[in-house]
Amino acid sequence: MTNDKNRVLIFDTTLRDGEQSPGATMTHDEKLEIAQLLDEMGVDIIEAGFPIASEGDFEAVRDIAEVTQNAVICGLARANFKDIDRCWEAVRYSERPRIHTFIGTSPLHRAIPDLSMDEMADRIHETVTHARNLCDNVQWSPMDATRTEFDYLCRVIEIAIKAGATTINIPDTVGYTAPRESADLIRRLIETVPGADEIIFATHCHNDLGMATANSLAAVEAGARQIECTINGLGERAGNTALEEVVMAMKVRHDIMPYTTGVDTKKIMNISRRVADVSGFQVQFNKAVVGKNAFAHESGIHQDGMLKNPQNFEIMRPEDVGLSATNLVMGKHSGRAALRAKLHDLGYDLGDNQLKDVFVRFKALADRKKEVYDDDLIALMREAGPETDDHLRVKFLRVICGTEAPQSADLTLTMDGKDHQVTATGDGPVDATFNAVKQIFPHNAHLKLYQVHAVTGGTDAQATVTVRLEEDGRIVTGQASDTDTVVASAKAYVAALNRLIVRRQKVGSDEKEISYRDAVN
């Protein structure tokens, strides 16, 4: 892909490993949107999904392969011909397809399919050969590599290389290793395995001990030239290596890490926000690079130092990651041109029709808030993003709350074009509202998460509410913002139910679903 010995390839697996986070399931349109943002940002390889997992996942990988312009499009496949064939059928539409096949090689993982070392070695040879006969770009991963016996790891990597693998990925599947071990393992493999100098070694680190970024960078220093990562560090358990962290670390500390990537870092904040929106996993305030407080300064000493010279307390500029350097206030007197310019600064380029819709929402918000800040506009754009079909829509809500129980909610809900009105009580206004929704649209989904974030400060701040529901193993997330927290709660709850309806329809079409748990890498 490149002859530059210091060029590090960025392999983004937000749409595959990131989506394995319980509750982070994305819709088809959202996957395509994120893939296009990744492609525009300059990611080298996009792991678009696990094609055999479901018909929906297959279609998403196939469609992403068709619409992306620059990145290699990769699909995941277990070590069997059926998975690999299905993966190829999905990625073959890409200008630059890749098959990524894997098998667990550690003693614990060998016990799952009950294969001996020799039997597994034969399986690896057969499946990598089969993948290479279909596609000239094949990646192979020994799952749980960091807990695999070194001699056996060398043996199976040599087999995979001889069978035609062009990239060998070394996964720290359970986040067990430490930076020194990560570097030593890559270095020893490159020195020991025949043919290692002819392929690319990749690193795939999980963050269970909080060392995913450090482990990935250590692997690069030892000779790995591909980092597998996700936006916001999304992923199972404690997540994966965060793309924004490794990319900015190499950029800021180029003096000791003289490596380059193809990522346009100014697009980081926009895609970080969008992934947070569609996944329902909000970024923690103190998250490196993309957290709300990453460029905030409250201490008097820090503020004084920043006023004198921003470099006193900032090692990178907010603009370097696509964060607006200023937070200009918009209001009800602001026009369309000003709104378009502000949204452009925030990373949103809207067509005329989109701007018209957002401008109406902006004016309505400005009538309720004296000052509309950047974060308010970002929340507004969440409301304007791609959505599932609105089978349910909140039309009217009035609640009675206070110290006198019971609290009640008078709700009018539009369901498939018809209005339904009920009054319900509950333990607080939000509970009463949810009970009212359930009366109109009965369901057995369990509320797994209810979370409220203030978008800005002040009593007129918008609240962003996230609701996560689970029904028969299906997890869905809804999110909405409003200056009225109860209204935001109702909209988020209804948004989650709309997604649940879509998921029910997919299952009802006899779609064969294979657990993502089998694809942990």
Residues 6 or more apart whose Cβ sits within 8 Å of residue 514: 50, 52, 53, 54
Q: Cα–chain-centroid distance for residue 290?
A: 13
Bond before 97 cis per omega within 30 degrees: no
Which residues touch 226 (CB under 8 Å, ≥6 apart)? 8, 9, 10, 11, 44, 45, 167, 169, 200, 201, 202, 203
* 17 annotated as belonging to a binding site for a ligand: yes
Tell me how far the alpha carbon of residue 19 is from its chain's centroid. Answer: 6
Query: By three-state DSSP, how is residue 75 classified?
Result: strand
Q: Which residues contact 405 (CB under 8 A, 6 or more apart)?
A: 427
Sign of CA dihedral 338, 344, 348, 350: positive
Q: How far is CA 491 from the centre of its chain?
A: 23
Tokens of 244: 């924004």
Q: How many CA atoms lie within 13 A of 431 on its CB side?
A: 8
80 is in an annotated binding site: no
344 is in an annotated binding site: no
Closest CA relative to residue 233, chosen from 164, 182, 290, 177: 290
| Strand-pair partners of 396 | 412
Binding-site members for Mn(2+) are 17, 204, 206, 240
Binding-site members are 17, 204, 206, 240
